[in-house]
Each structure stands twice: as C-alpha cells, then as structure tokens.
Amino acid sequence: MNKILIIAFVALTSLFFAFTYHSPEKKINLNNGNDKLTIDQPLTLTKEEIKDGWELLFDGKTTKGWHSYNKKVAGSSWKVDNGTIHLNAAEKDNFQIRDGGDLLTDQEFDNFDLKLEWKIDTCGNSGIIFFIHEDPKYKYCWETGPEMQVLDNKCHPDAKIIKHRAGDLYDLISCSKETVKPALQWNKVEIKSVNGKLDLLLNGVNVVSTQLWDDGWKKMVAGSKFKSMPDFGTYKKGHIAIQDHGNNVWFRNIKIKKL
C-alpha cells in the first residue's frame, strides 16, 4: 500500500512540473484586457508583407531607428516594454528628470502607407505627426508637420474642442466618424499619403481625406492655429513622430510601405 502511495505521489509531482515548467527560451503571453503581448519577442513581418514592400519601423525590443526631436538619440523617458514603445510620463513624479520629447524616425518619407497601433492613458493626449522638417530653428515637430490626434475623448479637455478629438487632423479637419476606443484600449491607425492625397484611417474606417499643399490646403491652414507658422504643412518629405504630450501613451506594430 505504501509503495502505491509513493508511486502515485511521484507521478502527480512529475505531472505538476510538466504543466508549470517553462524553458528559458519560451515566451510568456500576457493577456491584460485587450492586450495580447509577448515578453521580449521581436516583431516580424510576414513573407507576403516583405514581398509587398513593408518594413518595420520598430523592432519591438529597442528604439533603434528613432531619436528625440533635435537630438541624436531617444530620450530616456521613452521605454520599450512588452513589444511597445511607451512614454513613461510618471518619471516626472518620481524625482527624476523626465527626458522625452517627440520621438522621430531617423528616416524621412514622402509617399508612404503607415500602419501602427496606439493606446492612451486615462484623460491622456498624444499624436502622430508626419512630414516633419527637423531643424534647430523649430522648437517643436508641429511647427512643420500635420498631426493625427491621439486622445481620450471621454475626459481630456481637448475633447470639447472641434478638430481636436481622436482621429482628427489636428485643428484642421474633424474626423467624419468617431471610431476611437476608450482609454487603455488599442486603436489601429493607417496614414496614407500619395502625391499629397492624404487619408487617415482609425480602426478600419477612413475618417479624414484631404489634399495637401494646394490652394485649399493653404486656405485651411490660414484659418487654423498654425497660421503664424509659415512652414507648417509645406514640406513634401519628412520624419514621422509619436508625440510626447506629457501623458502615458503606448505604440506598437509600427510599419511602413514606401509608395
């Protein structure tokens, strides 16, 4: 009888470790609400995407290929964790000097199709800025580059301002339909520009379409907060940035196709 109990105990113990053991090479999936991330797993493209001309702008592990505006490297407040680029806005509350700034691609782009995902903290604000001309004479990215707004529409003050809500072409065109998800949920974005024809898609819906650089564009800029910035929206090639607006924000699956 004792031998039977011992054999049963050994068998159960072996079974327990078989189910709970993870080898060092195995990645552990996280499931937090709408998140399904993998620890320390580099991002990859499918064979079809590679053949179609897509390239990753973020490898999921480092800030390689990015730098803070008018700097040579990425500010230390931009963290890479769980396959995301995360602006750690909390550093300013922990007696640390926050070193962020808008984070730019090292590359410049003219005609492109950009895809990425973002989520914003509760009552947070950020943005995706493009056609940025980097020069020390400009203090901010948005002095030259238009922005697709990233926002918690529920409680950020900008949500009360027309053309400042999530998905808007900031201060220029309101989105045709609000498809943004609540704070701390992932949103899918596509920004496509071909010879000045600009389309912004949020969660699969084309929410803004316009033509850049023509007389209609110039008139629209002249009626906006950018009217005092003579170079705003004039560059036909530039960097792409994710914005430091002082709030926690996460970006992932950032890829681009040159057109």
For 102-132, write each residue's pLDDT tens digit: 999 999 999 999 999 999 999 999 999 999 9
Q: What was the pLDDT predicted at 98?
A: 66
Q: What was the pLDDT predicted at 90?
A: 82
Q: For the chain, which domains are there?
A: 39-258 (2.60.120.560)
125 in helix, strand or coil? strand
Q: What was the pLDDT predicted at 31?
A: 36
pTM above 0.75, yes or no: yes
Distance CA(257)–CA(109), nearest Å, equals: 10
Q: What was the pLDDT predicted at 44?
A: 83
Q: CA-CA distances (angstroms) from residue 92 to 98, 120, 186, 246? A: 5, 18, 25, 9
Distance CA(112)–CA(257), nearest Å, equals: 6
Give me the amino acid identity at 21.
Answer: Y
Q: What was the pLDDT predicted at 91?
A: 64
What parts of the chain have a pLDDT lower than 70? 1-42, 91-98
The two three-digit tokens of residue 242, written as one number? 């994710």
